[in-house]
Structure 1
Amino acid sequence: MATYNKRGYKPKNKVEKEQNIEADSTTAEVFNTLDETASKTEEFVQKNQKYIFVIIGLVAVIVLGSLGYKEFIAKPKQESAMNDMFQAQKYFDQAVTGVEKDSLYNLALNGGEGKFGMLDIIEEYSGTPSANLASYYAGTAYLRLKDYKKAVEHLENFKSDDEILAPIAKGNIGDAFVQLNQSEEALGYYEQAAEMRNNEYTTPMYLFKAGTIALDLGKADKALTYFKRIKEDYPNSTEASKVDVFIGKAQVLAGK
């Protein structure tokens, strides 16, 4: 246990004198060590200051360059992409809600009235959020036009954390594989779409699609799991209103 002497304290005997000498010696060693370290650090800085300044300069350039790129290149590029994408989005929305769908989907893909289409946005504004979103639009347009391989290609390039759009993109890939008669691949994408988010819209929709494909593939146990989950977890969904029939069918095929 450490003891502390009062100010002006005089050692009473030989032992205390030796302890004081030892303490003074230790303190001196500590200060000497600190002085040596400071001296070595100063010497290192003086000897290598040219390189240190270069490193600091490089870090500053990288940081300022990154900020400058975002502010003066990436941001204006994204704004320009959004402006150029407006007409293509309009064509796509009209195709979804109106008539002459094929021609409108083609205009959404390739452009019209001198404006960019989604394919132009992807090429001209690569790396921007608009180009990413254009991949979703392009993939969905190709799906509606029954060009399923191109649909898969573009939808695979789309990345999103959106609650609805992310699972729909995966589900659309599943739809494309169904049309290509690749049921195993379709099942995988429907399962991904169902598990990506937990909501009352996309989750039961893709659980139901996964269940029906699983039945077709002879995977009745897996199908039954998906159908029961819809009934238990999403009783108010559209799929829940018709799932009892499929639960019965899956139980028969599973021997339960």
Structure 2
Amino acid sequence: MTETTNKTAAENTPVSKEFQLEDSLHKAEDFFNKNKNSIIIALLVVVVVVGGTFAYSKFIKGPNEVKAQNMIFHAQQYFERDSFRLALNGDGNYEGFLQVIDKYGSTKTGQLAKYYAGVSYVKLGEFQKGIDQLTAFNGGDQIVQAMAYGLTGDAYMELGNTEKGIEFYKKAGAHSDNELTAPTYLFRAGMALEKANKPAEAISLYKQIRDKYPQTTEGREMDKYLARLGEVSNN
């Protein structure tokens, strides 16, 4: 009886934390020994990836950004003077936006060059080339990105593609909620919708502009456009 009782007590006695910890360490050590090669390879991969990312940022990405900034300087000057062809292609001594894109397109400055190039092409009446550059542009600044979408809408309208124009105007209006770009491009979307014989959708956008941006030029004009479409304000 005593033996049975002792046996039962021994079975029910909690295993000490020290024993559990030691057992866990043995298991961990056993796991490492069995999978040592795989673990070492995995760690080396992490080291290479992290080290490679750091090295890329410090020794390649950083210097390339500086080179791109130096290269784009004269192209920006031509752009500001409305010399768009020289801004795009350079003048023989200094590179243009297209050369910046070709060499350093993945940098922040290279992305900005795509925006400049898109604007330049649209100004020159080469609308599809402008669209190609503007849709390739991926800007970090919300307002500049909205302007890129809006200008893409302008280019599509010039090409007679009203549906795509509406699409990009709406995209521009929704991308950045501010009083500078949003009401402007929503208004253009509304005008394009009228052209596409979609007055109900135009009315919806005009009301949005009036109610959300009442202090802007567009917001103050919306009752006039709504009245033209048969929507009279109750105010």
Instruction: Compute the TM-score of the two structures, normalised by the length of structure 2.
Output: 0.88
Let me know the Cα RMSD of the aligned residues: 2.5
Instruction: Tell me the residue number matched to 2:53.
Output: 66
Please give the residue correspondences for 1:141-220 in structure 2 after superposition, counting only pairs within 5 Å: 141-220=120-199
Match for residue 223 of structure 2?
244
Deviations 1:88-116 (CA, angstroms, capped at 9, x unpaired) = 11111222xxxxxxxx0111101126111
Indicate how the Cα distance of structure 1 residues 119 and 29 shifts in structure 2: closer, same or farther if over 3 A, else same.
closer
Number of residue pairs matched by the alignment: 230
Q: Residues 74-94 of structure 1: CA distance to partner in whole angstroms, max 9, x if unpaired?
A: 100011100110111111122
Q: How does 1:1-256 map onto structure 2 within 5 Å?
A: 20-24=9-13, 26-27=14-15, 31=19, 35-95=22-82, 104-112=83-91, 114-251=93-230
One-letter amino acid of the counterpart of residue 65, structure 2: Q
Q: How far apart are residue 130 of structure 1 and its match?
A: 1.2
State the AA in 2 paired with 1:42: E
Q: Which amino acid is 2:129 matched to?
A: K
1:132 and 1:158 in contact (8 A); partners too: yes
Matched position secondary structure for 1:218: coil
Matched-pair contact (CA < 8 Å) for 1:215–1:250: no
Give, in whole Å, the separation in 2 of the partners of 1:40 and 1:14: 33
Deviations 1:149-175 (A, max 9, x none): 101000000012423101110000000
**Relative to structure 1, is the Cα distance of residues 34 and 116 closer, same or farther in structure 2, using a 3 angstrom cutoff?**
same
Q: Is the 8 A contact 1:167 1:202 kept in 2?
A: yes
CA distance in 2, matches of 1:75, 1:174: 34
The ranges of structure 1 where at least 4 consecutive aligned residues each deviate by more than 6 angstroms after the TM superposition are: 13-16
Q: For structure 1, which segment, 147-156 or 157-166, has the greater mean C-alpha deviation from structure 2 after superposition?
A: 157-166
Please state how far the C-alpha of 1:239 moved relative to its aligned partner: 1.5
TM-score when scaled to structure 1?
A: 0.82
Larger radius of gyration: 1
Q: Closer, same or farther in 2 for the Cα pair 1:235/1:39, shift >3 Å?
A: closer
Percent identity among equivalent residues? 32
Q: How far 1:30 moved relative to its partner?
A: 9.2
**Structure 2, unpaired ranges of 5+:** none
What CA distance in whole angstroms lies between the structure 2 residues aligned with 1:73 and 1:92? 28
Distance 2:161 2:65 in 1: 37
